[in-house]
Amino acid sequence: MCARRMAKESNTFGGEWSIKKLDCVESYLRSYLKVMMKKNWAELYYIDAFSGNGIQRFEGTYGEDQFSIAFEDELIGKFVEGSSMRALKVSDESERSGERGFKHFCFLELSGDKLSELRSRIEDSYPHMLARCKFIQGDVNDTLPELVRSIPWKEQRGVMFIDPWATQLSWSSVESLRGARCDIWMLFPLGAIIRMLPGDHLPPREFEGALTRIFGDDGWKDLYRHERGVQLSLFDEEGQQVSRQRGTKELIDYTTDRLRTVSQCVCGPAELRTSTNAPLFALYSMLPAGSQEAIRPFKAISNHLLKSIA
């Protein structure tokens, strides 16, 4: 099916939200390098957990599974600089103006082809930075915990961007961030999860496992209320009526509570919505571990940026 027709028929338009999220993270990186200017002792990392190939091309759809999102017609065919190239640009500009940049760049990506494309782009645009880049191919749920474990987080600090298409990130990966002294910007796939959580009956079995993998346990079942009812079609196995409150509030509150179990400070989220106001992602920033001195600027800058795009 052609992308335009698919966009119209699916009624799940993507759009400016994906540019907003990239601008937001780019602004955070600029502020972060300024805050870290006086902390010469710290070795700075930029970690891109779903790095892509360095550009975002609005081809029609975003993602490859049943939860993919179609873009608005006017964006199709356009390009924007992706998160990995933006991080290099911010760091390079900062260094050229006599300030500091990131010492290490870690790009994690499932697709070997995309990583090769990213490497070529860096060779073309930032050849002097290539030696600082690590290209890590594989499923992020394997590569991210391993990378986080390999960094001692004593004199190491950094920023991480977690930008999946949909529900690729497992809770075990989120848990692996515990204790990392790294400021994390993460997109939580609100729209895809809502589609797995029907309003008037429990999710089908195939989604149950996915939800438990995403949230780490089956606490998501508490999003459903069970009441004695009369309509047979709405009954669960015990003869009770099952329903979930519509909208995003309860799901967001639950997600935020889950993230707080691994993080000292959680900011946001800002909800990223389609032009037809359908929820797509919740953008969080979180600091798994940090001193009060680190938490203060983290919170102030994060809240300011998240508010500006909400």
Q: Note the residues at the interface with ligand SAM (CB under 6 A).
A: 22, 50-52, 56, 82-83, 108-111, 114, 139-140, 163-165, 168
C-beta nearest to ligand SAM: residue? 82
DSSP single-letter state for residue 235: B
- Spatial distance between the Cα atoms of 108 and 135, rounded to a whole number of angstroms: 6
Contact by Cβ (8 Å): 209, 226:
no
- Rounded least distance, CB 244 to ligand SAM, Å: 27
- Rounded least distance, CB 103 to ligand SAM, Å: 21
- Rounded least distance, CB 85 to ligand SAM, Å: 8
Beta pairing, strands 133-137 & 104-109: parallel
- Rounded least distance, CB 81 to ligand SAM, Å: 8
- Spatial distance between the Cα atoms of 288 and 177, rounded to a whole number of angstroms: 7
- Spatial distance between the Cα atoms of 5 and 75, rounded to a whole number of angstroms: 14
Q: 22 or 265: whose CB is closer to ligand SAM?
A: 22
Q: 294 or 306: whose CB is closer to ligand SAM?
A: 306
Q: 108 or 186: whose CB is closer to ligand SAM?
A: 108
- Rounded least distance, CB 83 to ligand SAM, Å: 4
Residue indicated by tokens 């993230």: 259
Contact by Cβ (8 Å): 243, 234:
yes
Q: 167 or 256: whose CB is closer to ligand SAM?
A: 167
Q: Which class for 148: exposed (0-12), middle (13-18), buried (19 or more C-beta within 10 A)?
A: buried
- Rounded least distance, CB 170 to ligand SAM, Å: 9
Sheet containing strand 133-137, strands side by side: 133-137, 104-109, 43-48, 156-162, 182-188, 279-287, 265-273
- Judged by DSSP in three states, 57 sits in strand
Q: 108 or 282: whose CB is closer to ligand SAM?
A: 108
Q: 215 or 224: whose CB is closer to ligand SAM?
A: 215
